[in-house]
Amino acid sequence: MQTVIIGSGNVAYHLAKALVEVNCPPVQIFGRNERELQSISEELKIPYSTKNLVNSDIYLICVSDHAVENVSQLIDKKDSLVAHTSGSLPIDALQGNYRKAVFYPLQTFSKSKQLKYSKIPFFVEAENEEDQKILFGLASEISENVMASTYEKRKYIHLTAVFACNFVNHLFSKAKEISDSQEIPFNYFLPLIDETVQKIHEIEPKKAQTGPAVRNDRRILELHEQLLKDESLEIYKTMNHSIQKMYEL
Amino acid sequence: MQTVIIGSGNVAYHLAKALVEVNCPPVQIFGRNERELQSISEELKIPYSTKNLVNSDIYLICVSDHAVENVSQLIDKKDSLVAHTSGSLPIDALQGNYRKAVFYPLQTFSKSKQLKYSKIPFFVEAENEEDQKILFGLASEISENVMASTYEKRKYIHLTAVFACNFVNHLFSKAKEISDSQEIPFNYFLPLIDETVQKIHEIEPKKAQTGPAVRNDRRILELHEQLLKDESLEIYKTMNHSIQKMYEL
């Protein structure tokens, strides 16, 4: 099965690299940003183009959600299977005369951060069983964790990921803002952060909750509120309120 | 140097265990909850008592913040060094006739979760240099990361930890609530969560931010808001607002 990667961002780079690593290198990486394409092309030894899309069995559209529809209209390959990689778009966001599918890797991608691809869950959806099998096969080359998923389910998977990844990372940013303001090195907190995550591999997060809100320690909650302002204070109040609701305090 | 641990909760258990592991077992574990004391005593082979506090060089008070003052008044050992282990109490929360100090381990402790103690940062404070040295010595037996810290700094260290640990764990609880509601196994998200944390060992969290808010993807933000309600919706809006403020979107 030949694949083409469309796009030159984080997802495009990592999917291309994952396929290279399992000896199924994409036959082309295609997009608009020539500088990025060239850099990926050089690193991974894959041909790139900004103009002519080569023929291929599978096209994986790895562009921002809002660009998927436009990009999908440019693909004029009616015997091919075209999949987008978004967690929050239905299969029919693809607008063209070809077989349609979704190929959604549940991971946070940054070009500068190496990844082990074999653990990434892939959620695939296709219009028929045969195409589903093809994408299962492709994803299974990369990962041990491949599942079918409808749009309804994928929406919630993405939403869960926003809480568990995007918001968590923002809390790290806010935490660093606080520690920076007092010239406390943020790396002091890395063992604590590592343990926070280690824990939920063994204990349900609801059972692992610690801190002043779940202890209903009013003195500390008030002390902390005095130390905070603006968005940090809003986050502090919102999170504590939600913790106290969850534990009926 | 002999130590006594006062308390039978998560911090008491883990500090006692850490001292046992480095061959400085506490001479006693003292508290009110006999069942817990007995269980710790049996596991760690340390004598316990609910009645008579033995003589010791150092007493480490490992009880909830609101109980520190009361417990500290019960210690009648004027030649000893007494330290509390709270991140959010000043040294003079201790009320008794003895040398006072603080011995604050920056970690989240659950009895059921094993820990590697050598990486835990310890923040110590004492009334004089000699006592500071004694506690540095004790903490250094356990950990490679021992620092002096005033109350002013410790308050902010604890506040940072609330964002980086307690709130992060609550986001995991909320994420699991969402995935449970759709019968999506929460362990699908563990590789993503692990990577989210791995990333900030290498990249500043502010540079690692991904997701719809930082991309200012209005369509997804609105879609997600429709899927949420109550505290989850509040968290969603508050976090996105804060992300967009941070990146000036």
Q: 3-state secondary structure string, chain B? A: CCEEEECCCHHHHHHHHHHHHCCCCCCEEECCCHHHHHHHHHHHCCCEECCCCCCCCEEEECCCHHHHHHHHHCCCCCCCEEEECCCCCCHHHCCCCCEEEEEEECCCCCCCCCCCHHHCCEEEEECCHHHHHHHHHHHHHHCCCEEECCHHHHHHHHHHHHHHHHHHHHHHHHHHHHHHHCCCCHHHHHHHHHHHHHHCCCCCHHHHCCCCCCCCCHHHHHHHHHHCCHHHHHHHHHHHHHHHHHCCC
Q: Which residue of A has its CA nearest to B148?
A: A184
Ramachandran sector of residue B63 (left: φ over 0; alpha: ψ -120 to 50; beta: rest):
beta
How high is the pLDDT of residue B248? 94
Cross-chain Cβ contact A163/B174 below 8 Å:
yes
% of chain B at pLDDT higher than 70: 100
Extract the tokens encoding A130: 């045969």
Q: Does A203 touch chain B (CB under 8 A)?
A: yes
Task: Write the CB contacts of B60 (distance below 8 Å, at least 6 apart in sequence).
Answer: B3, B4, B5, B6, B15, B26, B83, B84, B85, B103
Separation CA B18–CA B146 (nearest Å) = 15
Residue A45 has pLDDT above 90, yes or no: yes
Residue A111 has pLDDT above 90, yes or no: no
Q: Does B113 touch chain A (CB under 8 A)?
A: yes
Extract the tokens encoding A164: 């568990």
How high is the pLDDT of residue A106? 95
CA–CA min distance B242, chain A (Å) = 6
Which of B160, B165, B192 lies closest to A108 in CB terms?
B192
Residue B92 has pLDDT above 90, yes or no: yes
Q: At which residue do the structure tokens 């997701």 appear? A: B211
How high is the pLDDT of residue A68? 96
Residue A5, strand partner residues:
A29, A60
Closest to A108 measured CA to CA, from B176, B212, B225 = B212
How high is the pLDDT of residue B216? 92
Cross-chain Cβ contact B108/A195 below 8 Å:
yes
CA torsion, points A226, A229, A235, A240, in degrees to nearest 10? 10
Q: How far from B106 is each of A68, A184, B129, CA to CA, in Å?
A: 45, 13, 22
Q: What is the mean pLDDT of residues B30-42?
A: 97
A164 in Cβ contact with A141 (< 8 Å):
no
How high is the pLDDT of residue A110? 84
CA–CA min distance B120, chain A (Å) = 6
Which DSSP helix (H) or strand (E) runs through A73?
helix A65-73
Cross-chain Cβ contact A113/B153 below 8 Å:
no
Ordered strands of the B48-49 beta sheet: B48-49, B28-30, B3-6, B58-61, B81-84, B99-105, B122-126, B146-148
Which DSSP helix (H) or strand (E) runs through A70?
helix A65-73
How high is the pLDDT of residue A178? 97
How high is the pLDDT of residue A152? 93
Sort strands A58-61 and B99-105 into parallel, antiparallel or unpaired. unpaired
Which of B112, B120, B172 lies closest to A191 in CB terms?
B120
What is the reported pTM?
0.90
Extract the tokens encoding A87: 């967690």
Separation CA B129–CA A34 (nearest Å) = 62
For an interface test with A, give the residue of B110, B159, B177 to mutate (most A CBs within 10 A). B159
Q: What is the mean pLDDT of residues A2-19?
A: 97
B200 in Cβ contact with A170 (< 8 Å):
no
Task: Write the CB contacts of B27 (distance below 8 Å, at least 6 apart in sequence).
Answer: B2, B3, B4, B46, B47, B54, B56
**Helices within A94-215 (DSSP H only):** 129-142, 151-161, 168-181, 190-199, 205-208
How high is the pLDDT of residue B112? 84
> Which chain A residues are within 8 Å of B217, Cβ to Cβ?
64-66
Closest to A64 measured CA to CA, from B216, B144, B200, B79 = B216
Residue A148's SS3 state is strand
Q: Which of residues 115-154 of A touch B (CB under 8 A)?
A: 115, 119-121, 145, 147, 153
Q: Does A156 touch chain B (CB under 8 A)?
A: yes
Separation CA B219–CA A161 (nearest Å) = 17
Residue B111 has pLDDT above 90, yes or no: no
Cross-chain Cβ contact B184/A156 below 8 Å:
yes
Tens digit of each residue's pLDDT (9 = 90 or more) over B200-223 = 999 999 999 999 999 999 989 999
Residue A82 DSSP class? E
Residue A85 DSSP class? -
Instruction: Tally Cβ neighbours within 10 Å of residue B9.
Output: 17
CA–CA min distance B57, chain A (Å) = 29
Closest to B87 measured CA to CA, from B67, B72, B104 = B104
Q: What is the mean pLDDT of residues B49-71?
A: 96
Task: Please provide the average confidence, as pLDDT, over all residues in chain B.
Answer: 96
Q: Which residue of B has its CA nearest to A234?
A: B238
CA–CA min distance B113, chain A (Å) = 7
Residue B123 has pLDDT above 90, yes or no: yes
The pLDDT confidence band at residue B113, using thresholds 50, 70 and 90, is confident
How high is the pLDDT of residue A246? 97
A127 in Cβ contact with A92 (< 8 Å):
no
Tens digit of each residue's pLDDT (9 = 90 or more) over A171-220 = 999 999 999 999 999 999 999 999 999 999 999 999 999 999 999 999 89
Closest to A65 measured CA to CA, from A172, A163, A154 = A154
Cross-chain Cβ contact B188/A106 below 8 Å:
yes
Task: Please provide the average confidence, as pLDDT, over all residues in chain A.
Answer: 96
Residue B127 has pLDDT above 90, yes or no: yes
Residue B236 has pLDDT above 90, yes or no: yes
Which of A159, A213, A238 lies closest to B234 in CB terms?
A238
Q: Does B52 touch chain A (CB under 8 A)?
A: no
Residue B91 has pLDDT above 90, yes or no: yes
% of chain A at pLDDT higher than 90: 93
